[in-house]
Structure 1
Amino acid sequence: MNTHSYLKGFKDYLKLERSLSKHSINAYLNDVDKLLQFYLAVDKELILNKVQLKDLREFITWLNEIGMQSNTQARVISGIKAFFTYLMQEEMIEEDPTALLEAPKLTRKLPDTLSIHEINKLIDAIDASKPEGMRNKAIIEMLYGCGLRVTELVELRISNIYAETEFIKVIGKGNKERLVPIGSVALKFLEIYVSQIRVHLDIKKGHEDFIFLNRSGSRLSRISVFNLIKSLALTTGIHKNISPHTLRHSFATHLIEGGADLRAVQEMLGHASITTTEIYTHLDRDYLRSVITQFHPRS
């Protein structure tokens, strides 16, 4: 059984049946490629219907030996499990060797958050006199004000903005749609950018509906947003390892610290599971102490 001959089928399965994005599909294919690399490294032939649990445990040992972090290992194992699940569904193998395969125990590393003061510093550092200045202000407001992923931001379309009801339609992971409230401040900056800046761009064909554009009139890239955040952090002297996701994380953290319901935050973030949202419930010790003092009968 030739592994390579089934990768195209697996790719089609991920795209058509699971409706995954191109980025996610490539990640799964890379995970399977790691297994191929392992078999090459140990000078074995990968025969899919002959793979056993002990082989996969040796694979995990190899991942450790090459210095792969536990979080990355867990993702690779998830991809391998998905591949063998696909092979089972297509009746290409009779037993799933990953059924009892355990991923390494993960430590939840909480990403940095920004305080409201730091977020204001980022926005204030943007030079609004430049054509892209108002666009950049709108970008920061949308990332923080709506808790968007960077891909969701660059894919955002004018037709998905419902200003009258103050909601936006977001296309998240797996092409799943969700409605997210947009605050008045974010909406104000967005409308200024669209009505006063964007209208003067020579927009390229096929990019007319994308909100955030670069100088040449094309949809803004993810890397441009990453570079913007890094540049603003440098300008403002914020010595944290921040990215667009930091603003999403700050959005969720500030909501929960303010008393927002976890289920509501889950809905706005587009998390399929509440356990994913729970990472945002880390609260500083002073806040926890104040909760005990205020509400516990023996405080």
Structure 2
Amino acid sequence: MPVSSPSTPAGAGPADAAAAADAVRLERAVREYLGHLQVERGLSANTLAAYRRDLARYVRFLAGAGVREVDAVREEHVSAFVAALRDGGDGASALTASSAARTASAVRGWHRFLLAEGRAGDDPSAEVRPPAPPRRLPKALAVDEVAGLLQVAGLGEGPAALRDRALLELLYGCGARISEAVGLDLDDVSPAALGEDGVVRLRGKGSKERIVPMGSFARAALEAYLVRARPQLTASGRGSPAVFLNTRGARLSRQSAWATLQAAAGRAGIVRAVSPHTLRHSFATHLLQGGADVRVVQELLGHASVATTQVYTLVTADSLREVHSVTHPRARFPAAASGVTTPSRAD
């Protein structure tokens, strides 16, 4: 997975040629790191492509600064690059805080790798902090909104209606990512999956597997689809092992699954934006609202760190405050009150 090598335009001066040569030397170290990420950590192709783009920009920046070897990188180089990400000072497009933080994370990971492999004497990025992205709380649907969405998902005739209901029930019932759901094979559904203790095996980021229980609604919808609809879809294809099939008998794509959800949201009268990840957010939020431990939710979602899951606790706390302020008789002062009233004996 090579990083694009900079070319030296015809007529370029010696400085341009030297910068290009510097970048080529640095790229060798980047290729080693990308190979490590692919083989040792099993990152997805999309994640590797993002790392490749981020580090290619960093390499160009270092080469332009006259840095010829990885051991010549200093903390001020890393700091200047992080600043350039936000204002476009390196000649490339300025990034949002979240995109700049992602790129800075790739740079720090590369330097940690170089230090661990003995390719560098220190880590110049260790004290450089990436820009803090704005904290965006996930937007979950209310329980009744999810119920309405799932109710209309299976409306219509033919096998596609049963498939769509099973797909959305699984997304919400298991907190699955859309890629995990459409990536399911028949072998990933346990023989007992349609029984009382049914589970499903999901393959998450970095090819990590986890076992997640299915609720009764998801099991019933999946059983109806597998028994009554999937055989009809299989007849149009070449025997795909995928659980969810399109009308040609091939594996359902993420784009088609997304369109299925959008159509159901429209029929349910949900006007705000709804994505497959909205159902995952709703799954986590509703579990926590029901009293689930955050570490259990972490395991169900497949998060590597509980810190990622804890963002949902903020959503739940906000909901509790809102309910308290609306329903508790002493949560807010009366509109006509000019000061604090004295509690009566009944209080």
Q: What SS does structure 1 have at the residue aligned with 2:221? A: helix
1:226-263: CA deviation from partner (whole Å, max 9, x where unpaired):
23223333343322222111100000101111111212
One-letter amino acid of the structure 2 residue matched with residue 64 of structure 1:
R
Aligned partner of 1:154 in structure 2 is 182
Are the counterparts in 2 of residues 112 and 240 from structure 1 also a CA contact under 8 Å? Answer: no
One-letter amino acid of the structure 2 residue matched with residue 130 of structure 1:
G
Does residue 139 of the first structure (1) align with residue 161 of the second (2)? no
Does residue 278 of the first structure (1) align with residue 310 of the second (2)? yes
Aligned partner of 2:77 in structure 1 is 55
Are the counterparts in 2 of residues 60 and 73 from structure 1 also a CA contact under 8 Å? Answer: yes
* Structure with greater Cα Rg: 2
Q: How does 1:152-231 map to 2 (within 5 A)?
A: 152-162=180-190, 163=193, 164=195, 165-200=197-232, 201-202=234-235, 208-231=240-263
1:191-212: CA deviation from partner (whole Å, max 9, x where unpaired):
111121111224755x732211
Are the counterparts in 1 of residues 175 and 284 from structure 2 also a CA contact under 8 Å? Answer: yes
Q: In the superposition, relative to structure 1, how do residues 185 and 101 fare at CA in structure 2: closer, same or farther (>3 Å)?
A: same
1:35-63: CA deviation from partner (whole Å, max 9, x where unpaired):
245457xx445533322111111111111
Q: How does 1:1-299 map to 2 (within 5 A)?
A: 2-36=25-59, 38=61, 43-45=64-66, 47=68, 48-66=70-88, 67-126=94-153, 127-162=155-190, 163=193, 164=195, 165-200=197-232, 201-202=234-235, 208-281=240-313, 282-283=315-316, 284=319, 285-287=321-323
1:171-202: CA deviation from partner (whole Å, max 9, x where unpaired):
11222221111001101111111121111224
Q: What SS does structure 2 have at the residue aligned with 1:93? A: coil
One-letter amino acid of the structure 2 residue matched with residue 98 of structure 1:
S
Q: In the superposition, relative to structure 1, how do residues 170 and 203 fare at CA in structure 2: closer, same or farther (>3 Å)?
A: farther
Paired with 1:288 and 1:34, the residues of 2 have a C-alpha distance of 49
Paired with 2:117 and 2:227, the residues of 1 have a C-alpha distance of 52
How big is the alpha-carbon RMSD for the aligned residues of Structure 1 and Structure 2? 2.5
Are the counterparts in 2 of residues 36 and 46 from structure 1 also a CA contact under 8 Å? Answer: no
Are the counterparts in 1 of residues 159 and 228 from structure 2 also a CA contact under 8 Å? Answer: no
1:89-146: CA deviation from partner (whole Å, max 9, x where unpaired):
3322222211111122233211221112222232233333133111111111111110
Paired with 2:324 and 2:293, the residues of 1 have a C-alpha distance of 17
Paired with 1:288 and 1:57, the residues of 2 have a C-alpha distance of 45
Q: In the superposition, relative to structure 1, how do residues 4 and 124 fare at CA in structure 2: closer, same or farther (>3 Å)?
A: same
Q: What SS does structure 1 have at the residue aligned with 2:133? A: coil
Paired with 2:147 and 2:98, the residues of 1 have a C-alpha distance of 32
Paired with 1:54 and 1:231, the residues of 2 have a C-alpha distance of 51
**For this pair of structures, how many residues does the alignment match?**
291
Q: What SS does structure 2 have at the residue aligned with 1:219? A: coil
Paired with 1:242 and 1:249, the residues of 2 have a C-alpha distance of 11
Q: In the superposition, relative to structure 1, how do residues 7 and 219 fare at CA in structure 2: closer, same or farther (>3 Å)?
A: farther
Paired with 1:177 and 1:287, the residues of 2 have a C-alpha distance of 37
Q: What SS does structure 1 have at the residue aligned with 2:310? A: helix
One-letter amino acid of the structure 1 residue matched with residue 189 of structure 2:
I
One-letter amino acid of the structure 2 residue matched with residue 212 of structure 1:
F
Q: What SS does structure 1 have at the residue aligned with 2:304? A: coil
Paired with 2:236 and 2:301, the residues of 1 have a C-alpha distance of 30
Identity of aligned residues (%): 34
Specify every segment of 5 or more residues in structure 2 that has no aligned partner in the other structure, as ranges: 1-21, 89-93, 330-346
Bigger relative CO (Cα 8 Å, ≥ 6 apart): 1
